[in-house]
Amino acid sequence: MGAAAAPIAAVSSIASIGMSFASSGMKMGAAGQIDTAAGIQEQGAGLQLEAAGIQREAIPLQLQAGEYQYESAQKNAEGEEMRAAGTSAEYDFKAKRAMEAAKFGRLQAGLTDVALREQLNVQLANIDAIRAGGNVDPTSPTGAAIAGNEAEKSDRVRMAAGVTSRAQIASDEAGAAYLRKVGEYALLTGKRGAEAIILGGKAALEGARAGAKGTEAQAKAMEATSVATRAQAAATRAQATATRAAAVSDIASGLGKITKGALGG
């Protein structure tokens, strides 16, 4: 019975030794795979850290872009105010010319009225002279009728000239008032436009600053993630080391069994 059991025990021992070596091989292979995973994790951590550095490099550019936008807005605002001032000055000049035209129109209307009255007096004097040369009674109804007719025609001409002059004067004064209003509106519009441009520039600058803060926060988050990934990689490598240690233990166990069998024990 004991002799028959000896071969079976030997076979069982050989199988156990083979299993130990097979287990150690599998563990070594697993340890290699774990090491590979740890290397990938470390590479990812390096890339995350590099990306954080790139983002930090972008922060000064963001701030600089915001400052450039604000400076550009200030210059554009100055240009808008200058343009508005020029437009206002142009309309003010036109308004002054219109007022001068109105003043000249009043003067011309007065001169026209005086000239027409003098012309009537000359005509009446000529009529009197002609009638006197013809020995016509100056108090006759015919003379009075002729003088009245001439006076009536002169009055109509004076009235028409006066209406025309007053209409032109009113038009010039209304034009001057309109031009002044347009000039004032242009100046006000330019000022409001400049203020809007400045506000836009300030908003761009604040946006750039906020963006820079966001980029800084993202960089810090990436750095933290990189640290966590490196820690995870270290844990993975520790796992690989433990797996290798287990594999070495299996090999030692197998060798021990072989030695034990060789010694007959």
Q: For 265, which DSSP code?
A: -
pLDDT tens digits, 198-234:
999 999 989 998 999 998 898 888 888 888 888 888 8
Give residue 2's pLDDT: 45
- Does residue 70 carry a pLDDT above 80? yes
pLDDT digits (tens, 9 = 90+) for 112-144: 888 888 888 888 788 778 777 776 666 667 767
Q: Helix, strand or coil for residue 255?
A: helix
The rounded percent of the chain whose pLDDT value lies above 70 is 86
Question: What's the token pair of residue 126?
Answer: 């000529």
6: pLDDT strictly greater than 70: no
Structural contact between residues 51 and 221, judged by C-beta atoms closer than 8 angstroms? no
Measured distance between the N- and C-terminal CA atoms of the chain, rounded to whole angstroms: 19
Closest CA to 123 of 152, 94, 102: 152
Q: Which two tokens stand for residue 106?
A: 């009043």
86-91: Cβ within 8 A, 24+ apart: 87/183, 87/186, 87/187, 87/190, 88/183, 88/184, 88/186, 88/187, 88/190, 89/183, 90/183, 91/179, 91/180, 91/182, 91/183, 91/186
Name the pTM for this structure.
0.56
What pLDDT is attached to residue 92?
Answer: 92
